[in-house]
Amino acid sequence: MKKIIPIIIITLLSQSTSFSQYFTSANYTKALWMTTRYYGAQRSGNNNWLVYNHLPQGVLTKYKGKCFIDDNDAGYDLSGGWHDCGDHVKFGQTQFYSAYMLLKGYAEFPTGYDDYYTATYLNYGKTGKWSWEEGAHDPNGIPDILDEVKHATDYFIKCAKNSSTFYYQVGQGTPDHKTWVTAVQMQTQSLANGGGQRVVYKNPADASMASFCGATLALMSRMYAKFDTAYASLCLTHAKYAYDYAKAHPGTVGSPDCCFYGANGSWKDDYATMCAELFWATNTTSYKTEALAFTVVDEWTGDIHGNSYGADYSSNGDIALYNLALLGKSVAKTVLGTIVTKFYLGNVQSDGQFAGGNTAWGPLRYNANTAFTVALWQKLNATDGTINKYIYDNIDYIMGKNASSLSFIVGFGANCAKHPHHRTVYLDDTDPSDADKQLLNIPAKNAQFGGMVGGSRNPSNYKDLATQYQYTEGGIDYNAGLVCVLGFINAKLAPVDTSKFHAPTAISDLNPLSVSASVYPNPSSSSFTIQSSVPAHIKVVDNLGRVMSEFELVNNKSFGEELAEGIYHVIFYNENNDIIYNMNMVKQ
């Protein structure tokens, strides 16, 4: 009998693991690829893959495949960033929060994130193969999550213009919602219909958005230093601008545009997070001192506290407590543990799903967000060797382990949400009636959209209609927690060899030829020198997509003295007009 007992125990453990993990490792990897690339589908400005080569009838060629490239404030470029949900407004409340959470997930679980594509989706577009199964990947040596977040931080640098100027919203929800057309089309419409010279909002009496902006840029300065030291330095400079602005404007505000987003619950948790990230980026003790000065008493009180409601863009106590715990504040670790065990693990439905949050509007974001908090809590307590069942119960439900076998990630699985409330994904510019919206189908190129819809905790109640936006609309803040926790799962089930990631200093990163290229000094306040071991046609492009300089390169060349301050993209083309390399440079 003694010989049989160990066998029985092993079998039971195996059954328990199988019960908790419903999907294969490959499924979680694919889901992470899709939900990460979703942010490329939300890009404003250039390189939104949903509208690759899309040009509506009657629209000028300069707008082909581009979204709101004319956003500016009296000539100050504000193009870029992310569209919020199924619309095209750039709301600060969700944008700064989402970017930080995505980057924090990568920072904490870096082995969960792989590299499948370039920042411009070069090979997907070149081959016309956009699905996971077609495998037209072309890795560029940088994790995809960083390529996606960098599109946001390029914009955040513009938002934190200096210590006294901070931009937080571009566009207005009411005009934007008047017509159902792609972002490519809408940018050419009148201001009253969401286009034209969109309204810009700046300098709010708010520390929350500036804090998340600063935290993201500070964290990006650490995460991107391996790939581009000049860009990392630029991020840190503007992170400090955001810090200065936040410090001078304690408080929170909602969207000035009607009632789309309310104010954050507290500016202090976001500010503490920014101070923590600035400390880790600079090793300047004063930032740590500021962060630790905020009080933590229990799960309900103190400057930094949790919320039984769960975490979202307006309630950020969980992440602040985690950061303070990492700084050594022991009471923060204790309170985070109380929140997790009492409010999350101890508050579930019969199927293991989180029972809190907004159960009527976007409930599944709380499944994902609380699961990510549990993952951080596990890491903090060194119990992350085994993924907590709560994480599997909530994420597997989203992916399709439910009574209807329905995946709430658009494009993931045969039986998935297929009709999101999203203006651009359908590539329809006819402004259809509500009845006709329900007949729209996503074109094959965009089928693996990757957006998580708001969904329902009961799959039989879900209404998969584009007009039922309460159920079918997603958003950048909805996907953020899901991407983070999928990164955690992948780090445990199929960790990535991060030694393969490297700075893209050679054309060979995108071309089998063994050649090298560089631009120096970078940054520069005068001219640059560019060199390459093979001939190339060079275009220097600004963030509006305008070609500012163009020339043939043989060996080396001096250029750029006439350029204004800003970030530029240096694009290398071969004799077939194929892009073989793309790098950034900074004119100071």
Pick the range with the lowest mean pLDDT from 226-235, 278-287, 492-501, 542-551: 542-551
Could you read off the pLDDT of 109-119 as tens digits, one per residue?
Answer: 999 999 999 99
CA distance 412 to 407: 6
Lowest mean pLDDT among 262-266, 326-330, 376-380, 381-385: 262-266
pLDDT reported for residue 187: 97
Which option is the CATH number for 510-587: 3.40.190.10, 3.20.20.80, 1.10.150.20, 2.60.40.3080? 2.60.40.3080
Give the Cβ contact number of residue 576 at 10 Å: 6
Q: Which residues of 42-73 are buried (b: 16+ CB within 10 A; e: fewer)?
A: bbbbbbbbbbbebbbeebeeebebbbbbbbbb
Q: Out of 16-20, 116-120, 310-314, 328-332, pick the least confident.
A: 16-20
* Both structure tokens of 150: 């960098």
Position 557 scores a pLDDT of 86
Predicted confidence band at 14 (pLDDT cuts at 50, 70, 90)? very low
Contacts of residue 490, defined as CB under 8 A and 6 or more positions apart, other chains included, come to 25, 28, 29, 32, 111, 112, 113, 114, 496
pLDDT of residue 553: 87
- pLDDT, one tens digit per residue, over 274-301 is 999 999 999 999 999 999 999 999 999 9
pLDDT at 13: 32
Specify the pLDDT at position 504.
65
> pLDDT tens digits for 49-59?
999 999 999 99
Q: Are 20 and 392 in contact (CB under 8 A)?
A: yes
Domain ranges of the chain: 1-38+345-495, 42-293, 510-587
Q: Domain 42-293: give its CATH architecture.
A: Alpha/alpha barrel (1.50)
- At 85-95, the pLDDT tens digits run 999 999 999 99
CA–CA gap between residue 165 and residue 517 (Å, rounded)? 37
42-293 matches 510-587 in fold: no
Higher per-residue confidence, 17 vs 440: 440
- Please, what's the largest Cα pairwise distance for the chain? 85
User: Could you give the percent of the chain with pLDDT greater than 90?
Assistant: 78
Least confident residue range of 35-39, 44-48, 501-505: 501-505
CA dist 55 and 184 (Å) reads 7
Reported as a pLDDT band with limits 50, 70 and 90, residue 552 is: confident
In this model, does residue 393 exceed pLDDT 50? yes
What is the arithmetic mean of pLDDT over 343-352? 96
Task: Provide mean pLDDT across the span 471-488.
Answer: 98
Q: What is the pLDDT of residues 522-533, one digit of tens each?
A: 888 888 888 877
Q: Is the pLDDT of residue 510 over 70?
A: no
- Sign of torsion over alpha carbons 370, 375, 378, 383: positive
- The strand pairing partners of 540, in sequence order, are 549, 570
pLDDT score, position 326 = 98
**Which of 243-247, 305-309, 373-377 has the least mean pLDDT?**
305-309
CB 138 within 8 A of CB 123: yes
Just give the CATH number of 1-38+345-495: 1.50.10.10
Long-range contacts, stretch 346-350, CB < 8 angstroms, 24+ apart: 347/308, 348/390, 348/393, 349/457
Which residues share a beta bridge with 551? 538
Interval 126-141: pLDDT, tens: 999 999 999 999 999 9
